Amino acid sequence: FNPLQKFWRHNVQLTVPHVDCRDHLANERTFLGYLRTSVSLSMTGVVVAQLWRLQHAPHPDPVFGYFVLSIPIALLLQFAAMIVVLLGAV
C-alpha cells in the first residue's frame, strides 16, 4: 500500500503550476484525441454488426457480403478500439 501512495504522491498533482499548465493541457488533449478515436471505432463496429442484423437476406451471398464479412469486421473494429484506448492511456 505504501508504494502505491508514493506513486500517487509523486505522479498525480491536484493543482498544476502555471508554468506546467501548457504541457498538462496538451497531454489531456492528446488523451482525449485517443479516446475520441477509440469511441468512433467502437461505434463503427456496432453499426457494422447492426447492418448484419438488418441486411440479413433469406439467401445471403456465401462468398462476399454483409453476412460473411460484417461480424469479422465488427470484431476487428472493436479490437482496434481497445488497442487505441490502451495506447492512449500509456
57 pLDDT band, cuts 50/70/90, is low
- Report whether 88 contacts 35 (CB < 8 A): yes
In a domain, 77, yes or no: yes
In a domain, 50, yes or no: yes
In a domain, 69, yes or no: yes
In a domain, 38, yes or no: yes
What average pLDDT does the segment 63-84 reach?
88
What pTM did the predictor assign? Answer: 0.71
What is the rounded distance in angstroms from the CA atom of residue 53 to the CA atom of residue 67?
Answer: 9
Mean pLDDT for the chain overall: 84
Q: How many CB atoms lie within 10 A of CB 32?
A: 11
In a domain, 4, yes or no: no
What average pLDDT does the segment 44-58 reach?
81
Comparison of pLDDT for 31 and 66, the residue scoring more: 31
* Rg value, the chain, Cα: 21
In a domain, 14, yes or no: no
Judged on CB neighbours under 10 Å (0-12, 13-18, 19+), 88 is: middle
In a domain, 12, yes or no: no
Residues of the domain holding 75 = 19-89
Instruction: Give me the number of domains the chain comprises.
Output: 1
In a domain, 36, yes or no: yes
